[in-house]
Amino acid sequence: MTLRCRPRRWRAQDFAPYSRSNPAPPGLVFAPDTQGSRIGAGLATKRAVQRHPQEDTALMAQKFTLNVNGSDHTVEVDPDMPLLYALRNDIGLNNPHFGCGLAQCGACTVHLDGQAIRSCVTPVSAVGTGKVVTLAGLGTPEKPHPLQTAYVEEQVPQCGYCINGWIMTAAAFLRDKKKPTDAEIKTALEGLKCRCGTHMGIMRAVKRASEMMG
Amino acid sequence: MTRMEKSAAFSRRALLESGGALVVSIGMPISLDTLLAVRQAHAQGAKPPLTPDQLSSYIAVNADGTVAAFFGKMDMGHGLTVAIGQMVAEELDVPFKAVKVYMGDTANSVHQGGASGSTGIQLGGKQMRMAAAEARRVLVEMAAQKLALPATQLTVVDGVVQDKSDPAKKASYAELIGGRYFNVQLDWNKQYGNTLYAPGKALPKKPSEYKIVGKPIKREDIAPKVFAQEDFVTDVKVPGMVHARMIRPPVAGSVPVKVDESSIKDIPTAQVVWKNGFLGVVADKEWDAIQAMGNLKVEWSQTKPPFPPQASLYDVIRKSPVRKRVVEKDVGNVDDAFKTAARVIEAEYEWPYQSHASMGPACAFVEIKDGFVTCYSGTQKSHFVQAGLAATLDVPLEKVHVKWMAGPGSYGRNDADDCAMDAAVIAKAVGRPVRLQYMREQGTAWDPKGPASIHRARLGFDADGKIIAYEYTSKGFSRVDVDTNGGKPKDTLAGQTLGVALASGDGFGVPAESYEFPNKRLAWETIAPLLDRASPLRSSHLRDPVGPQIHFASESFIDEVAADLKQDPIVFRLQHIKEPRDAAVIKAAAEKFGWETRTSPRRDQTGVKVNGRGIAYSQRNGTRVAAIAEVDIDRSTGKIWVKRFVVAHDCGQIINPDGLAKAIEGNVIQGISRTLWEEVKFNDKTVTTVDWISYPILDITESPEKIESVLIDHPEIAPSGAGEPSIRPLAAAIANAIFDATGVRMRRVPFSPDRVKQAMS
């Protein structure tokens, strides 16, 4: 088998989250077929790894230098591997979580050059020299981001597995939008999932943070 | 080394080798009550056995006077850690901050049943309270001996026993027992699980003496999560670990007959684990394991697709032979009364299969080393998983250690226990530590499901219009095709795919309310599962198991009767409710909501957007909840917005009002979600709801403007549960509000826009 590396052709919308008002395009809504759950890999990677049938399935690992939370990390991985796995397994940052691998829930959200992106569908090769910030890099107990302070004050999470999505998305939103209305906050956070149902607490915390940010 | 590697290594070593990292046993405390025990076989200096009849199994005092509480249940996100800490600190008279609660670890806690049935405080907390009270009593006796004063002369302030009249005469808990274990026998009822109860001789405090219980103390596990400093079960990493993924069949019930390992030979370190119907893959790197899962060529057995068309589901339930029928309440003679009835109202309601659809698919870590099994799991029930692993791996129970770690959500018997067993089978096969995480579609399509059901209610009047008979019957799949835990191979996918037959149990339930009618019968009937082996539609417990469906129907029906009689829905309920605490929650909710007494439906709205209000109420194991929904409906789209919910909640004594209010909010959001959106769909082969697009849940743009709770505190009544009761009446409250707004009665969940629009046309 010949191993070769394909040219990258990623666009920002490839990593855009899906939501009820921005549904996945037809063909990307998955249902088990005769492949059954073997499409699991496809489910996880279909958008990130748009491999064509004629292309080889195994790709050569490449070296990438990723700037994460202010430090450079060199990883040697499949260029198509989603950033999430590089962050969690190669760089050892546990905070972005695997929730769906489909950009449908937000548990994996990080900032790439200040924009909230879903790291579960963003190939490592698409990161380039962009600066990645995870929840751990957003703030610390000593120097918290207002959203982190507000989250603690409002006692928002239940299981807490979803918080990367809400905090990182809200942080990018509040940076650009001062004193948003409730409706604007909800629209900005549309599509993120919290299965425990902490939505009311999330709204309180985002509003509190927005006030703190002036 | 990442933070997790350190903490995982630490916790394994510390807990396994010492059985508890913080408490060092250096000799037995001597008190009047323990003198005999000291002479007995427990070796001097050793910890008494980890059995339910030992005080040391629940409470220990560290050398610095801080208290360790070992809890055989766990906090699935409602702040139970805080509540248990409050109860223990209260009884021991130590500051709240002095107590650390250790949860769900089989190495240091006894089998208290895990997170189960909202019993964390009701039963688990009850035991911890009694243990803490007994610890205080023993410590006071020890101080009495040391200070040569009668125990009645002593009091405790912040962990220091002192003379009531001369505080200079004192002995701290640290001095009395710090760093050593209690050796005090408790009066154990010989039960394990939720019903385990082992009080000592002490009586707990009177509520009037409380200083800590009832306070809105905040959770301490929030900040570590928010600053990304806490590890979830998904974050466990140890040297030499492999990543695993499972492969489920395309047709439920089929098994692999040919696996082409050459199809993954180019994926580094990828390896197949295949036995009977069990099929998984491992690789050193997680991404490679995912690739291997996707690329592995498998030939499956030709199996007849097992499932009926989705559209016929409720007909299938109607026509299926009843496997078991149980009449739980039978007052008077219902059959005779209906024969004499001048008029009968009846209705039937339907509820679909629903998924736990936890925030992330389950994850588990298992290592088998030197005959000893270590498992980290997000399970709700570590002690059951311990038993399940022992049975699956055929090792003695004491060779298995299960430690609960926060997982990606819970809400009942989700996919966590299956994942632990699958990981164990793989760990045994590959001889290395294994981290297994399911994929999203496995979490949503293959978790045990809340069962689908139909519910029939009828009510008879005599010639004078007086209600003479009421009958309510649920018929559906059992709530326990698989048990509420992975304690036995028959109840796990690993067991079933390896060849242990599914043995579906029978269980359902009846409405929990106090309506009094002269003749009344409440019954349930179960039917056999659609597939008798590893099935994505096997049923088990989903938050408030069968409660939402039963009370959706029963409380919708009560509303139908009130409307038929042209009575206000609250006035009608209060006429027939017998128990004062039930009436009280309804009145409290009505007052907070600003309920206007009138009949439903409203007839004063003509526009596209209409608004309505609806009430429902229910009990659950001692707790009472009344919920009032206000909904806006867009008649052009059928879209419903639950704008406001008021929930009045009486669970007896309130331990932590802040935790309670937030537990109610979560219940309301999840309850609206299950009512408006959630339905497991399937074709003849398997489940087709596999992600958040095909299995939508409530979005934040659809969340209410306001959720208000009225917390009724009864310090004199033992606390009952709060984790689930408030989800119970929500669907009916929403349905009743839709009726109020539109005059249309929704009798099938979910109330998705297309279905609402259809119902209104």
Digit-coded pLDDT (tens) for B73-102: 999 999 999 999 999 999 999 999 999 999
Tell me whether domains B3-226 and B560-760 share a fold: yes
| Cβ of residue A18 closer than 8 Å to a chain B Cβ | yes
* Phi, psi dihedral angles at B454 (to 5 degrees): -120, 155
pLDDT confidence tier of residue B1, bands split at 50, 70 and 90: very low
HSE, side-chain direction, 13 A CA sphere, residue B410: 32
Ranges assigned E (strand) in B45-142: 59-61, 67-71, 99-103
Q: Best residue in A195, A206, A208 to probe B by mutation, most B CBs within 10 Å?
A: A195
Q: Best residue in B2, B225, B302, B688 to probe A by mutation, most A CBs within 10 Å?
A: B225
CATH number listed for the domain at residues B236-303+356-445: 3.30.365.10
Which residues of chain B lie closer than 8 angstroms to A36, CB-CB? 248-251, 300, 685-686
- A75: three-class secondary structure by DSSP: strand
Check if the beta carbon of residue B73 is closer than 8 Å to that of residue B125. Answer: no
Window 430-459 of B: residues touching A by CB (8 A cutoff) are 437, 439-442, 445-446
> What is the nearest CA distance from B713 to chain A, expressed in angstroms?
22
Predicted local confidence at residue B459, as pLDDT: 98
Check if the beta carbon of residue B488 is closer than 8 Å to that of residue B503. Answer: no
B551 pLDDT exceeds 70?
A: yes
Which residues of chain B lie closer than 8 angstroms to A31, CB-CB? 683, 688, 690, 694
- Write the residue in A82, A139, A159 that is nearest to B76 by C-beta: A159
Which residues of chain A lie closer than 8 angstroms to B232, CB-CB? 94, 97, 160-161
Domain-wise residue ranges, chain B: 3-226, 236-303+356-445, 560-760
How many Cβ atoms sit within 10 Å of the Cβ of residue A212? 14
A52 pLDDT exceeds 80?
A: no
Ranges assigned E (strand) in B593-742: 609-620, 623-634, 639-650, 706-712
* pLDDT digits 0-9 by tens, B387-431: 999 999 999 999 999 999 999 988 999 999 999 999 999 999 999
Amino acid at B731: A
Ranges assigned E (strand) in B512-622: 520-527, 609-620
Q: What is the DSSP letter of B450?
A: B
Alpha helices in B97-243 (DSSP H): 126-147, 173-177, 222-226
Reference B702, options B672, B739, B667, B741; nearest CA is B672
In terms of residues, how long is chain A?
A: 214
Q: How far apart are CA B480 and CA B468, in angstroms?
A: 34
Window 89-148 of A: residues touching B by CB (8 A cutoff) are 89, 92-95, 97-102, 104-105, 107, 134-136, 139-141, 144, 148
Which residues of chain B lie closer than 8 angstroms to A191, CB-CB? 699
A7 pLDDT exceeds 60?
A: no
- Write the residue in B234, B440, B670 that is nearest to A43 by C-beta: B440
CA distances from B431 to B364, B399, B425, B554 (A): 16, 16, 10, 53
Q: How far apart are CA B304 and CA B291, in angstroms?
A: 29
A27 pLDDT exceeds 80?
A: no
Q: How far apart are CA B184 and CA B678, in angstroms?
A: 50
Q: Best residue in B219, B226, B257, B643 to probe A by mutation, most A CBs within 10 Å?
A: B226
Q: How far apart are CA B660 and CA B595, in angstroms?
A: 24
A49 pLDDT exceeds 60?
A: no
* pLDDT digits 0-9 by tens, B264-306: 999 999 999 999 999 999 999 999 999 999 999 999 999 999 9
Reference B129, options B23, B193, B213, B20; nearest CA is B213
* pLDDT digits 0-9 by tens, B214-253: 999 999 999 999 999 989 999 999 999 999 999 999 999 9
pLDDT confidence tier of residue B2, bands split at 50, 70 and 90: very low
| Cβ of residue A10 closer than 8 Å to a chain B Cβ | no
B702 pLDDT exceeds 60?
A: yes
Name the fold adopted by B560-760: Aldehyde Oxidoreductase; domain 4 (3.30.365)
Mean pLDDT confidence for A109-119 = 96
Sheet with strand B609-620: strands edge to edge:
B609-620, B623-634, B639-650, B706-712
- What six digits make up the tokens of B276? 């009977």
Instruction: Compute the CA torsion angle B647, B648, B654, B657 (nearest 10 deg).
Output: 40
For B85, the enclosing helix (H) or strand (E) is helix B80-92
CATH assignment of B3-226, among 3.20.20.140, 3.30.360.10, 3.30.70.20, 3.30.365.10? 3.30.365.10
Mean pLDDT of the residues in chain B: 93
Check if the beta carbon of residue A166 is closer than 8 Å to that of residue A189. Answer: yes
pLDDT confidence tier of residue B723, bands split at 50, 70 and 90: very high
| Cβ of residue A2 closer than 8 Å to a chain B Cβ | no
Q: What contacts A142, CB < 8 A, 6 or more positions away?
A: none
Report the chain B residue with the minimal C-alpha distance to residue A140. Answer: B227
Stronger pLDDT, B230 or B170, i.e. the higher one: B170
B59 pLDDT exceeds 70?
A: yes
pLDDT confidence tier of residue B47, bands split at 50, 70 and 90: confident
- Write the residue in B359, B445, B696 that is nearest to A161 by C-beta: B359
Predicted local confidence at residue B704, as pLDDT: 98
Q: How far apart are CA B708 and CA B729, in angstroms?
A: 15
B54 pLDDT exceeds 80?
A: yes
Q: CA B97, B381, B728 angle in degrees (round to 5)?
A: 90
Q: Best residue in A22, A47, A69, A98 to probe B by mutation, most B CBs within 10 Å?
A: A98
Q: Find the distance separating the first CA and the last CA of chain B, reported in whole Å.
A: 63
Predicted local confidence at residue A16, as pLDDT: 54
Question: Percent of chain B having pLDDT more than 90?
Answer: 93
Predicted local confidence at residue B761, as pLDDT: 87
Q: How far apart are CA B637 and CA B310, in angstroms?
A: 24
For B429, the enclosing helix (H) or strand (E) is helix B416-430
Check if the beta carbon of residue B407 is closer than 8 Å to that of residue B215. Answer: no
Query: Please, is B129 exposed, middle or buried when counting C-beta atoms within 10 Å of its C-beta (0-12, 13-18, 19+)?
Result: buried
For B317, the enclosing helix (H) or strand (E) is helix B313-319
Check if the beta carbon of residue B688 is closer than 8 Å to that of residue B753. Answer: no
HSE, side-chain direction, 13 A CA sphere, residue A140: 4
Q: How far apart are CA B350 and CA A192, in angstroms?
A: 29
B30 pLDDT exceeds 90?
A: no
Concatenate the DSSP letters of all residues of B732-753 into one string. HHHHHHHHHHHS----BS---H
A6 pLDDT exceeds 90?
A: no
Beta-ladder partners of B712: B650
Predicted local confidence at residue A60, as pLDDT: 80
> What is the nearest CA distance from B4 to chain A, expressed in angstroms?
8
B31 pLDDT exceeds 90?
A: no
A13 pLDDT exceeds 50?
A: no
Q: How far apart are CA B356 and CA B666, in angstroms?
A: 14
- What six digits make up the tokens of B171? 């002995």
Q: CA B33 from chain center: how many Å?
A: 38
Which residues of chain B lie closer than 8 angstroms to A198, CB-CB? 662, 665-666, 669
Q: What ipTM was assigned to the predicted interfaces of this complex?
A: 0.93
Mean pLDDT confidence for B564-590 = 98
CA distances from A93 to B235, B284, B363, B436, B465 (A): 9, 18, 17, 18, 69
Predicted local confidence at residue A22, as pLDDT: 59
Check if the beta carbon of residue A100 is closer than 8 Å to that of residue B437. Answer: no
B44 pLDDT exceeds 80?
A: no
Check if the beta carbon of residue B640 is closer than 8 Å to that of residue B733. Answer: no
Report the chain B residue with the minimal C-alpha distance to residue A35. Answer: B250
User: Domains of chain A, with CATH numbers?
Assistant: 10-52+60-137 (3.10.20.30), 139-212 (1.10.150.120)
- B304: three-class secondary structure by DSSP: coil
Predicted local confidence at residue B12, as pLDDT: 33
For B437, the enclosing helix (H) or strand (E) is strand B434-437
- Write the residue in A78, A161, A201 that is nearest to B665 by C-beta: A201
- Write the residue in A1, A85, A152 that is nearest to B287 by C-beta: A85
- A181: three-class secondary structure by DSSP: coil
Amino acid at A28: L
| Cβ of residue B234 closer than 8 Å to a chain A Cβ | yes
Stronger pLDDT, B141 or A54, i.e. the higher one: B141
Check if the beta carbon of residue B492 is closer than 8 Å to that of residue B391. Answer: no
Window 21-80 of A: residues touching B by CB (8 A cutoff) are 21, 23-24, 29-45, 57-58, 77-78
Q: How far apart are CA A137 and CA A128, in angstroms?
A: 19
* Interchain proximity A159–B446, CB inside 8 Å: no
Check if the beta carbon of residue B73 is closer than 8 Å to that of residue B120. Answer: yes
| Radius of gyration, alpha carbons of chain A | 18
Mean pLDDT confidence for B334-363 = 98
Predicted local confidence at residue A171, as pLDDT: 98
